[in-house]
Amino acid sequence: MAFDPKIKNDLIKILDEDRVKDDRVTLYTYRSDALILHPTMPMGVVFPENREELVAIVKLLHANQITFLPRGAGTGLSGGAIPKEGSVIIEMFRFRQIYDIDFANRSITVGPGVVNIKITEHVKENGYCFVPDPSSQKACTVGGNVAENSGGPHTLKYGVTVNHILGIEVVLPDGEVVELGGKQWGAPGPDLLGLFVGSEGTFGIVTKITCRLTPLPEKVITLLGIFPSVRDACSAVSNTIREGIIPAAMELIDNVVIQAVEKTIAPGFPLDAEAVLVVELEDMKDGIEEEASRVQAILNENNATEVRRAKNEEERALIWKARKEAFGALGTISPSYYVQDGVIPRSALPDVLGQISDIAQKYNLTIANVFHAGDGNLHPLILYNSKIPEEIEKADKAGIEILDICVSLGGSLSGEHGIGLEKQELMGTLYSSEDLSNMEWVRSFFNPQNLLNPGKIFPTPGKCAETKMGPQIVQSKSGVVA
């Protein structure tokens, strides 16, 4: 796969030669995102640096009916940035401008290639932060966050990305530039901005984002409950929320993950604990101690063997480092993992974790759990060896069974990673064909010819969604690539 020579020449007229790439190394690098399933070669990759260049590229591709898609940092876990065969990837990482910081109106306007954590780093000294904090926040871009409507540990109290975006500038698939929202909340009329956030790179390419800034809390208390069973830790989560307390974050880490993070980050979690629960409370100074005492009591009532409290910022940061780098730490105990992202009602957590453990036994695989327990957003990490094809198949089946449980309980296929091409064929388990047609109709309003990021979210025509075709783990000619 490579650019058609005429298209390549036209692209070079818009960009410098070294920003139009279709060499083998580039094509291999960009054939996948963090999903690492379904790798597909793009036609080539282009690296625009500003809106004018982007518009010219999009108009050229549109005129030639060539499919294309934007890519941020490629940390997506549902394959959103994996190209349909022959598509052109538009790398957005160079849109890294900070255009405007407006503390009076609590907003910051940035390019979509800005890395998530950089926003808070820019405004922290002035007492503000950008709330969405995916665990990948040191790498992922705000453009990717908008596309996926990303969440993170602090979603429980503050909501997901859509709750923190005030406005965006977008290049539509025919090259038209539009603005949705602005610097203030509350534009009248249908909420097109809300519709756009979470459209997984299929409605338009975001070129500018105005984010809402949130004041840093006056006080933060981070508790660590240590539990003899995952069931007890899960019960502590639902009982805390039942009491009307909404912590900023409630994150559960099970024993498999504890073993892994102790090897890499060494946060001092007891190796014999079956689960630890991170509970973060934050607010203005008054009242928070009382709430912390109540949460501590609830953890004890649910059989916590110990409840620790971070004594200073260093201890707090270490707990969060262990939580946020947990996926990577699993590399010390397994050659590969496949992470799922199902959602269930919080009250069902204890039972579902038991069922996941049964699925692990059935397939003779280890399934680790580290997840946003307060939101009921599971992240079972199915550990397998990508060099053993039967294990790939088993991991795939186990993932589908877990999602089936989530859907059967009235939950969802994704809490934050998106559907992408990973779960598109499962959408029929959640929605009727009428629902799906209506959603596709909405997409066609923005992207009528489906030239932008085709083959995502919706079941492939002709495949029966209700057959529950799952994510297929594929093998390349050179070996297993999952």
Ligand X SMILES: Cc1cc2nc3c(=O)[nH]c(=O)nc-3n(C[C@H](O)[C@H](O)[C@H](O)COP(=O)(O)OP(=O)(O)OC[C@H]3O[C@@H](n4cnc5c(N)ncnc54)[C@H](O)[C@@H]3O)c2cc1C
* Structure token pair of residue 119: 């926003």
Tell which positions 205-264 bind ligand X, by CB under 6 A: 205-206
Residue 58 engages ligand X in binding (rule: CB under 6 A): no
For residue 141, give the nearest of 74, 79, 205, 200 by alpha carbon. 74
Among 150, 235, 334, 336, contact with ligand X (rule: CB under 6 A): 150
Among 75, 222, 238, 302, contact with ligand X (rule: CB under 6 A): 75
The minimum distance between CB 322 and ligand X, in angstroms, equals 13
For residue 376, give the nearest of 354, 343, 413 by alpha carbon. 343
Which spans in 87-199 are helix H?
A: 116-123, 142-148, 155-158, 192-196
Name which of 211 and 299 has its Cβ closer to ligand X: 211
Stretch near ligand X under the rule CB under 6 A, chosen from 63-71, 238-246, 300-308, 422-430 = 63-71
Residue 459 engages ligand X in binding (rule: CB under 6 A): no
Among 40, 135, 334, 447, contact with ligand X (rule: CB under 6 A): 135
The minimum distance between CB 111 and ligand X, in angstroms, equals 9
For residue 356, give the nearest of 394, 315, 398 by alpha carbon. 398
Among 39, 44, 48, 72, contact with ligand X (rule: CB under 6 A): 72
- Count the residues of the shown chain that bind ligand X, applying the rule CB under 6 A: 36
Measure the CA–CA gap between 14 and 11, rounded to whole angstroms: 5
Name which of 153 and 292 has its Cβ closer to ligand X: 153
Q: Are 36 and 30 in contact (CB under 8 A)?
A: no
Among 32, 87, 136, 414, contact with ligand X (rule: CB under 6 A): 136
For residue 270, give the nearest of 307, 315, 324, 220 by alpha carbon. 307
The minimum distance between CB 143 and ligand X, in angstroms, equals 3
For residue 242, give the nearest of 346, 316, 334, 143 by alpha carbon. 346
- Dihedral sign for Cα atoms in the order 280, 281, 284, 289: negative
- Dihedral sign for Cα atoms in the order 179, 180, 183, 184: positive
In DSSP terms, 214 is beta-bridged to 129
Residue 145 engages ligand X in binding (rule: CB under 6 A): yes
Stretch near ligand X under the rule CB under 6 A, chosen from 9-17, 131-139, 245-253, 458-466 = 131-139
Name which of 420 and 428 has its Cβ closer to ligand X: 420
Name which of 299 and 322 has its Cβ closer to ligand X: 322
Tell which positions 377-436 bind ligand X, by CB under 6 A: 416-417
For tokens 């990490």, the residue is 381
For tokens 């406005």, the residue is 167
Q: Give ∠ CA 139-143-144 in degrees, rounded to 5.
A: 60
Residues that bind ligand X (CB under 6 A): 33-34, 69-77, 80-81, 92, 112, 134-136, 140-141, 143-145, 147-148, 150-152, 200-201, 205-206, 327, 416-417, 453
